[in-house]
Amino acid sequence: MTFGQQLLFFFSAIGAFNGLLLGIYLLLAKKERNLPNLFLGILLLTLSIRVSISVCFYFYPDWPRIISYLGLASLFYTGPALLGYIRSSYLTEDFDLKSFTKLFVTLTLFLAIVSILYVFFPVSWDRYYGTFVYAVWSVFVFLSIYSYYRFSASKVKSSNRFILPVLVSNLIIFLAYQLISTGWVQIYCAGGSLVFSFVLYANFLIFFERREKRNVSSKVSNKYPNKKISDESAENFNSKLRTLMYSEELYKNPDLKLNDLAVKMNMPSHQLSQLLNDNIGKSFSTYVNEFRINEACDKIEKGSALKIEEIGYEVGFNSKSTFFNAFRKIKHTTPFLYKQSQTISHPVIQSSDL
């Protein structure tokens, strides 16, 4: 192995190794455990596995061919993980994890079926398997870009400041592998490994730079700590907030955010958050969902002709699962059981009974 090859191996391998470590850390570390980090961990693991196998095949071409297919199989999940990372970063508590889990299971079954075809069509399978994986990756990269654009256009904000760097990084890696796989760029797949290593360390620099800025800003803000809202002021704010929610029916907006409500209240968003959490004792989503569930119960009690799921959409929920989960959390029952209990408590009086 020449000195140039040694450098190529070193930089490619160290990027893959660090990617594996970071992916495992995001999946297992309790203090970092949330949905965006879960998807980011899966994303890093799948890319790192693919990069590791690419590097090994570049320097050890006599390895069994089946190992390269395992690398492609791991790459198959990179696109879905990226889409999950973006959507969970924006939707937070409204993210439908069950539906996304079903998507992963469906994709796994699809991949298994395609893999079994090797037994019957080995030549065609060997020729088109990589194309199939890259096509699926392309679809999910497009969906990820579309989701980011849609959330940005609707001015939905996320506390995660790394969405764009992660999206751009994956787009660069995706384009590098696509150009290499199509032969438009005459570099072996180790070139993709180098791109991955470069992008990974570039993100490290962005992460630490932003972390340093946050530390500086937190030190400055600690000099002027927020005072606790007095009980009298909190009561006035709470009364104004409830009146505003009822009069304008703000809770019916499925895209309602804390910042939107703070603008309506003419107060800083951090102060509104403090009011909700410290004085009222509820998170923003719980506070809003209680208004939605109360109106849903009112509609059910009045015998609304709408279907149960239609009532959920009517009062401000953006999905059936979110509505059912919130209803169960607040009322400790399901909408269907609640409707049944109302039917039993208030039976319909027939004309013959009069």
Q: Hey, what domains does the chain have and what are their CATH numbers? A: 3-221 (1.20.1070), 231-345 (1.10.10.60)
Q: What is the pLDDT of residue 227?
A: 56
Q: What is the pLDDT of residue 139?
A: 92
**Please, which residues have CB within 8 angstroms of residue 56's CB and are 6 or more apart in sequence?**
63, 67
Dihedral sign computed on CA atoms, order 33, 36, 39, 45: negative
Distances (CA, A) of 212 to 170, 205, 313: 24, 11, 42
Q: Which helix (H) or strand (E) holds 200?
A: helix 190-222
Q: What six digits make up the tokens of 98?
A: 């069950």
pLDDT tens across the length of the chain (354 residues): 555 555 555 556 666 666 667 777 777 876 656 788 888 888 888 877 877 777 666 666 666 666 677 777 888 888 898 888 888 888 876 777 888 889 889 999 988 898 888 878 888 877 888 888 888 889 999 999 998 888 888 766 776 677 887 888 778 777 777 776 665 444 444 444 445 555 554 554 445 444 444 444 444 444 444 556 777 777 888 888 888 888 888 889 888 888 888 888 888 888 888 888 888 888 888 899 999 999 999 888 888 888 888 998 999 998 888 889 888 988 888 888 888 887 665 554 443 443
Whole-angstrom distance, CA of residue 76 vs CA of residue 268: 44
Q: What is the pLDDT of residue 122?
A: 80
pTM of the model: 0.56
Q: What is the pLDDT of residue 10?
A: 58
Q: What is the pLDDT of residue 60?
A: 63
Whole-angstrom distance, CA of residue 237 vs CA of residue 279: 10
Whole-angstrom distance, CA of residue 310 vs CA of residue 317: 10
Place of tokens 């090797």: 118
The residue among 124, 126, 141 whose CA lies nearest residue 178 is 141
The residue among 141, 140, 125 whose CA lies nearest residue 69 is 125
